[in-house]
Each structure stands twice: as C-alpha cells, then as structure tokens.
Amino acid sequence: MNVRLDHVVIAVTDRRRSDAFYRDVLGADVVERDGRAFYRVGDQQLNVHAAGVSPAAVARIPVAPGGSDLCFEWLGPIADAVAHLGRLGVAIETGPLLRQGARGQGTSVYVRDPDGSLLELISYRA
C-alpha cells in the first residue's frame, strides 16, 4: 500500500500572528484560498482553522488552538535551528535532545507556536 501523510489541521486564534510565525520560523508558504489559510512546509500542508472559518468536514472533536503537537524536520544541523530561533526571539522550551523520529535517531528542540501548540524541530544531521 502506498500511503503518506498529506496534511494536518491546526487551529489558531489570530491568523495574522500565526501566519507570521509559521512563515518566519518554519519558512512556510502561506496560501490563502476562499478566506482560508494553508501553510505549506516542504511537501506537507497545515490546514488552518481560524475564527470565522467553517470547514466542510471536521474531526469528531475538532482540534483546539494550542492543541497540536507537530514535528518538522530541520534539514541542517540542529545548531543552525537554535541560532535561527534565537535570531527570531523564539524561546526553546527544551533541547537539544536525542529523539527517535520517522527517519531514526535525531536531535530535537521544542518550541511553542503563538497559541501554545508544541512544535518539534528534528535534525538527522550529526
């Protein structure tokens, strides 16, 4: 069976603040269509549920702002991620730590988005 993750949903309270965070911190392309936002990060997409947006279908218990826990692969050394976050004034909650990810052992740092969702940046580079 050939299956891979295409997108996940995050909920945000302030679209402008979240758009800026995901664009600046993760390098996401912010795409707007029909009043909705989508953050494209590499080959994946985050569908953004913001106030006033009524998506066609939602989970039985929709994700709440601050209720996501996502991991993104940082393509360079983790030290570069730490420096990048520092330049942007984004506090590292924990790390760097050794962690197991989809591609094996890597080194991760954890931060929070503006609503409090946990974001892990993992690097598989030594």
Q: Is 114 exposed, middle or buried (0-12, 13-18, 19+ CB in 10 A)?
A: middle
Q: pTM for this one?
A: 0.92
- Provide the pLDDT for residue 38: 95
Long-range contacts of 48-53, Cβ-Cβ distance < 8 Å, separation of 24 or more: 48/9, 48/10, 48/11, 48/12, 48/15, 48/18, 49/9, 49/10, 49/11, 49/12, 50/11, 50/12, 50/13, 50/14, 50/15, 50/18, 51/13, 51/15
* Domain annotation covers residue 69: yes
- Provide the pLDDT for residue 61: 84
* Domain annotation covers residue 2: no
Residue in the structure block whose two tokens are 């997409």: 45
- Provide the pLDDT for residue 90: 98
Going from the first residue of the chain to its last (126 residues), give the mean pLDDT of each consecutive group of 10, the final group possibly shorter.
Answer: 90 96 98 92 93 75 92 97 98 97 97 98 92
* Domain annotation covers residue 26: yes
- Provide the pLDDT for residue 51: 82
Report the C-alpha gap between 113 and 4 in whole angstroms: 25
- Provide the pLDDT for residue 59: 76
- Provide the pLDDT for residue 1: 84
- Structural domain count of the chain: 1
* Domain annotation covers residue 24: yes
- Provide the pLDDT for residue 122: 98
Task: Report the CATH number at residue 116.
Answer: 3.10.180.10
* Domain annotation covers residue 18: yes
* Domain annotation covers residue 1: no
The domain of 116 spans 7-123
- Provide the pLDDT for residue 63: 87
* Domain annotation covers residue 51: yes
120: annotated active-site residue: yes
